[in-house]
Amino acid sequence: NAGVTQTPKFRILKIGQSMTLQCAQDMNHNYMYWYRQDPGMGLKLIYYSVGAGITDKGEVPNGYNVSRSTTEDFPLRLELAAPSQTSVYFCASSHTGTGAEGYTFGSGTRLTVV
Amino acid sequence: AQSVTQLGSHVSVSEGALVLLRCNYSSSVPPYLFWYVQYPNQGLQLLLKYTSAATLVKGINGFEAEFKKSETSFHLTKPSAHMSDAAEYFCAVSEGSGGGADGLTFGKGTHLIIQP
């Protein structure tokens, strides 16, 4: 099925470890986004990309890095994991930057840092 | 910059009753407005959207929302609640046709509880 695929679904990290959250879409969307979701706080934008080779910071980028070497993939890198990064992470993609046609979301990665 | 306020982090209604979830926005330009639904342990799914056409927008599962510019509101309604409507609902805004690429701004969400 076409859509956004995120891996892994769950992960437990120790403080100071690093990991990469994978995100891939097969809809040829130029725009891709990483959000984190915390209880009662809605979704906060971490990073976004308007196409291969182009990325920019969102509202809460500290502690994260991204790359966009292909249209399909938009991995999120956590360096030196901290308990404050315990969250559910969602990747999304869209055809336009305004999201007028709606975003397609992945099913999320639930990350716990202990 | 745009922002979204959802009134009520939890809303409880009886099965068959009217559902009303409130959303107010602020935007310096004509906005696009959205409602997304999130079922447990799933990603977000688009429910409906306003993109400057008709102000009354109909979505999936019997939901609808009305864009009221004078009240800067985009409330979500459904005439008769069903048990399967229990979920988290998010209102979101973007800067419309003149906006940039930096995505949607989401409200904090409203958890809809359906009482049998």
Residue B92 has a pLDDT of 92
Residue B97 has a pLDDT of 61
Contact B103 A33 (CB under 8 A): yes
- Dist. CA B9–CA A40, nearest whole Å: 7
Distance from CA of B116 to the nearest CA of A (A): 25
pLDDT in tens, chain A (114 residues): 679 999 999 999 999 999 999 999 999 999 999 999 998 888 999 999 999 999 999 989 999 999 999 999 999 999 899 999 999 999 999 988 777 777 899 999 999 999
- Pick from A30, A13, A33: nearest CA to A89: A33
- For A65-81, the pLDDT digits (tens) are 999 999 999 999 998 99
Residue B102 has a pLDDT of 66
Whether the ω angle into residue B79 lies within 30 degrees of 0, i.e. cis, is no
Residues 47-76 of B with CB under 8 A from A: 49, 51
